[in-house]
């Protein structure tokens, strides 16, 4: 594994994980990626219903960020009423493929009972 004791790249990132986390960081972006992976074209309201707990403001903000990062395409149809759909770009599809091993790890951990929600620090009283 690469060491983090080296100088940062010109963009400030120290490794590939750092770069990826800038794009998918936070609780909601990977869930948005999952929802768009399940079906290629989704409307805003569909995404909102598929991701319990996300607010409209956060969803709109994340979709804008993901569009800016080249992960999501926003397609606006000139109809009455106006219709907007979101879909993964080729980079977004590649990102979902890269996240699949992490999803498999999470499923295995959940199924084996390893995901207790208690960190070692919490359990030790720190």
How far, in Å, CA of 66 to CA of 72, rounded?
A: 5
> Quick check: pTM over 0.95?
no
Q: Is 88 exposed, middle or buried (0-12, 13-18, 19+ CB in 10 A)?
A: buried
Q: Is 121 exposed, middle or buried (0-12, 13-18, 19+ CB in 10 A)?
A: exposed
Instruction: For the sheet with 83-88, list strands across it.
Output: 42-43, 83-88, 72-77
Give residue limits of the domains in the chain.
16-101
Predicted local distance difference test score (pLDDT) of residue 114: 76
Residue 42: closest CA among 83, 100, 93: 83
Residue 36: closest CA among 77, 92, 107, 91: 92
The correct CATH number of 16-101 out of 3.20.20.70, 3.40.190.10, 3.30.1360.120, 1.10.10.10 is 1.10.10.10
Q: Is 60 exposed, middle or buried (0-12, 13-18, 19+ CB in 10 A)?
A: middle
Question: What percentage of the chain exceeds 90 in pLDDT?
Answer: 56
**pLDDT tens readout for residues 54-103:** 999 999 999 999 999 999 999 999 989 889 999 999 999 999 999 999 88
Predicted local distance difference test score (pLDDT) of residue 115: 59
How high does pLDDT run on average in the chain? 84
């Amino acid at each position: 594994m690469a060491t983090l004791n080296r100088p940062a790249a010109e963009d400030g990132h120290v490794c590939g994980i750092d770069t990826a986390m800038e794009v998918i960081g936070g609780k909601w972006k990977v869930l948005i990626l999952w929802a768009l992976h399940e079906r290629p074209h989704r409307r805003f309201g569909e995404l909102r219903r598929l991701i319990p707990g996300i607010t409209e403001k956060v969803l709109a903000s994340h979709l804008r960020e993901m569009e800016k990062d080249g992960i999501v395409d926003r397609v606006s149809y000139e109809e009455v009423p106006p219709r907007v759909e979101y879909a993964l770009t080729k980079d977004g599809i590649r990102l979902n493929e890269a996240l699949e091993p992490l999803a498999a790890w999470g499923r295995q951990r959940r199924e084996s009972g390893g995901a207790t929600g208690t960190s070692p620090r919490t359990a030790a009283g720190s």
